[in-house]
Amino acid sequence: MVSHRVNKIEASQTMQIAAEAKRLKADGINVIDLSVGEPDFPTPHNIKEAAKTSIDENHTRYTINAGTIELRKAITAKLKRENGLNYNLNQVIVSNGAKQSLYNAILTIINPGDEVIIPAPYWVSYPAMVSMAEGKSVFVSASEKNGFKLLPEELEKVITPKTKALILCNPSNPTGSTYTRKELENLAEVIRKNDCWIISDEIYEKLIYDDFEFVSFASLSEEFKKRTILVNGISKAYSMTGWRIGYTAAPEEIIEGMNKIQSHSTSNASSVSQSAAVEALTGPQYVINEMLTEFKQRRDYLHYELTSLPGISCYKPEGAFFLFPNISAYFNKNTNVLRVNDSFDFAMYILYEAHIATVPGSAFGAENYLRISYAVSMEHLKEAIIRLKKALSKLS
């Protein structure tokens, strides 16, 4: 018998679609995978070289549990340089990806029954993590007309003395929308009245377009820095998802708690990956701009094409590499063999009919939508649009 903790985690529909996409691919069908959550670029050369050197120099043993001093120095320097934030080394911990950072942070602050506010659409793992910590997720809708951003008046309605934390994903997976300084300040005004933590997931920080200014929540003021658990990493910015390095910057009591949890679960993140991460954060940064130029072209192309399709609306996001179109105009439409009732059916329909894999909005707590990743080549995006148009024309 498995634990009640495991039983509470919902089996994901996303997995079902991914499994089906895999099956079709194995049958030789050319599936275009727009469900991906990672950049399609190789890790930059200088970073790979740093990792090779690290192996040759035998940096292959356990490191300090919280991460090497060198890496934590590189992180504190980055936070100072790019976000105007001063942290000391004891206020930073390196983990096996930002995902582990988030999980350890949640385990550190949540007692059974504590409420955690999660704006929807949300990243799929937040509610599962809160549930594993035996907390209670409180969802609040961030609507398309407001760019999927949480409004202060909406936050006001759900924040109570029972609220232990608010999780803010900025820029957001799945919508790509990113908060302005003013929007964050307005949320901060509401949070000020309630003593809760803000877990600020900034993993897509570097993927920002059109000169939009990214603002880290902790940088709003010293008061908010003390209440923010800042999570970031190198996975998305440097195309290093497989290297598994994420980090947290927060007040010492939080880092100490996370350190304890990590020391009894996974211990330090990979020593070689930590060396590579030092190079990522301190070496040349131009590769990010090359990646951004490419992503921006794809975003503009895909946004234009999607919003030209009948019935589809789509917020043009400021960051990340996802579009989150509203596809609800296609609900209750049929072909001669099936009926599309919801976002899951829609995703399944375009998988079978157009051989395009996507993720239904229901996975992110937003039923009327579909997450489309543009972390694939322009050639694939163009082909996907041709196939999508054809498939949609068959629904009536």
Ligand X SMILES: Cc1ncc(COP(=O)(O)O)c(C=O)c1O
List of residues contacting ligand X (CB under 6 A): 37, 97-99, 123, 169, 173, 201, 203, 233, 235, 241, 246
Peptide linkage before 121 cis (omega within 30 of 0)? yes
Spatial separation of the C-alpha atoms in residues 25 and 14, rounded to whole Å = 16
**Minimal distance in Å, beta carbon 332 to ligand X?**
31
Asked if 159 and 117 count as a contact pair (C-beta separation under 8 A), the reply is yes
For ligand X, the closer of residues 328 and 362 by Cβ is: 362
Contact between residue 396 and residue 70 where contact means Cβ atoms under 8 Å apart: no
**Distance from C-alpha of 290 to C-alpha of 306, rounded to nearest angstrom:** 25
Min. distance of Cβ 199 from ligand X in angstroms?
Answer: 10
Nearer to ligand X, 31 or 203 (CB): 203
How near is the Cβ of 394 to ligand X at its closest, in Å? 33
- Of the pair 124, 155, the CB lying nearest ligand X is at 124
CB-wise, 209 or 243, nearer to ligand X?
A: 243
- Can you tell me the distance from the alpha carbon of 167 to that of 242, in angstroms, rounded to the nearest whole number? 24
Between 72 and 99, CB nearer to ligand X? 99
Position with the least CB separation from ligand X: 97
The least CB distance from residue 95 to ligand X, in Å, is 8
Between 37 and 365, CB nearer to ligand X = 37
Residue 19 neighbours by CB distance under 10 Å: 10
* Nearest CA-CA partner of 38 in 298, 237, 231, 273: 237
- Least distance to ligand X from the beta carbon of 271, Å? 17
Residue from 234, 203, 257, 279 nearest 93 by CA: 257
Q: How far is CA 34 from the centre of its chain?
A: 15
What are the angstrom distances between the C-alpha of 145 and each of 22, 141, 142, 171?
35, 11, 9, 17
Nearest approach, Cβ of 101 to ligand X (angstroms)? Answer: 7
Q: Please name the residues in contact with 82: beta carbons below 8 A apart, sequence gap of 6 or more.
A: none
User: How many Å apart are CA 167 and CA 258, to the nearest integer?
Assistant: 17
CB of 375 to ligand X, least distance (A): 11
Q: For ligand X, give the closer residue by CB, 167 or 350.
A: 167
Question: Looking at beta carbons only, is 65 or 328 nearer to ligand X?
Answer: 65
Q: Which is nearer to ligand X, 124 or 312 (CB)?
A: 124
To the nearest whole angstrom, how small is the minimum distance from the Cβ of residue 393 to ligand X? 33
- Which structure tokens are listed for 219? 């940088």
Which CB sits closer to ligand X, 170 or 328? 170
SS3 91: helix
Smallest separation, CB 3 to ligand X (Å): 24
Complete DSSP assignment for 121-176: S--THHHHHHHHTT-EEEEEE--GGGTT---HHHHHHH--TTEEEEEEESS-TTT-
Q: Find the shortest distance in angstroms from Cβ 280 to ligand X.
A: 12
Q: Which residues pair with 339 in a beta bridge?
A: 334
Nearest to 130 by CA among 154, 109, 151, 148: 109
Rg (CA), the chain: 21
